[in-house]
Amino acid sequence: MEKEMNANRVTIIFGLMFGAMVTFSVIFGLSQKFQFHVPIKWYTIFIVLGAGVSLFFGAKKLVVGQRGVLSVLEKYLDNEAVLGIYFELPGIIGIMKLSAKQTTIRVNLPGAKLKGAVTLVSAQGSFTYVVRSVRIAGSVDNLDVSVKALCESALRTFITTQSSRDIENGRTDLLAAFEAIREGTSTKLSVLVAEADSLGVEILSLFLDSAELPPELVKARNQQVVEAAERIAQGLERSQREGIIREEMLKGATYAEAQAEADRVTGKRSTVTTNQVTGGGQPVVLLGQNQGNTGNGGTP
């Protein structure tokens, strides 16, 4: 805390001394030029007034939502400032200020590639950061751009580890995901934290918000889903017919009668072989074939 207080005190003391010295120099110079005597009392009065005027015009304020660090000859020292008044003389002394508020930035990722070199049509991410070290952050040219470049690189790295199915899982928290990704002896998260520290910031959140797959890949995926659904439906229908036929034959019906009942219930005339129902091996019409008079007990 003492370090923090010193930053404001140093600037205020400098401001008072600067005003006092300028006032003294002006009065002394005039008295020498025009050859008149100035009593010590008036020197004191004018010096106090000069110091006050200097502080009045040079005073600045560090407010809520800002953080500052002592700047001397445009070099940033370790002394952080507290909220309140400080004195600034441009180029000489003052407090360099940065926002202490959380900053959220959205990122577009053109040409991002998935695992397997599939290029996304588009991808968007977002991140939130806050300044932790004003001294370090103040030395970074265009802090927003630097942090954005860091987070964009992290987003692209993450996307390259994802398949087309992974990427469709919705909004992804990369800070959580990076804990499970190793990079040498460290996790990807610890590497990201270290890189953020070098910019004087902390990454509070990093998300992959959305990703759009290529149309041809989406079409192929949809076709696969349709084909899988059809296979499941056919399997269910076949199981249903087998169950009906088995149940009817247990009641004493002939195979033809059982198959007719299965046709009635399912609304189709596809048949199953008797060995699928009884294990007897009597050949009937293949699954999916419409039957007519088969000569082996089938019903028209």
Q: Where in the chain is the domain with CATH 3.30.479.30?
A: 103-213
pLDDT, the chain, mean:
78
Say whether pLDDT at 276 is over 60.
no
Residue 41 has pLDDT above 80, yes or no: yes
Flag whether pLDDT at 33 surpasses 60. Answer: yes
pLDDT at 222: 65
Q: Please tell me the predicted confidence (pLDDT) of residue 221.
A: 67
> What topology does CATH give the domain 103-213?
Tetrahydropterin Synthase; Chain A (3.30.479)
Identify the residue with better confidence: 266 or 278.
266
Which of the four pLDDT bands, split at 50, 70 and 90, describes residue 295?
Answer: very low
C-alpha 169/C-alpha 88 separation (Å) is 53
Of residues 194 and 181, more confidence is placed in 194
Query: What pLDDT score does 106 carry?
Result: 92
* pLDDT tens digits along 212-249: 877 776 566 666 666 676 777 777 778 888 888 888 88
**pLDDT, position 150:** 92
165 or 30: which leads in pLDDT: 30
Asked whether the predicted pLDDT for residue 187 surpasses 60, the reply is yes
Measure Cα distances from 246 to 59, 240, 270, 274, 289 in Å: 96, 10, 15, 9, 20
pLDDT tens, 119-166? 888 889 999 998 888 778 877 878 889 999 999 999 998 888 888 777
| pLDDT score recorded for residue 207 | 92
Is the model's pLDDT at 282 over the cut of 90?
Answer: no
Averaged pLDDT, 3-30? 82
Query: Which pLDDT value is given to residue 2?
Result: 45
pLDDT value at residue 283: 42
109-114 average pLDDT score: 86
Give me the pLDDT at residue 203, please: 92
Query: What pLDDT, on the 0 to 100 scale, is given for residue 183?
Result: 74
Interatomic CA distance for residues 135 and 79, integer angstroms: 9
Tens digits of per-residue pLDDT, 56-106? 888 888 777 777 777 788 777 767 777 778 888 887 888 777 777 888 989
pLDDT higher than threshold 50 for residue 292 = no
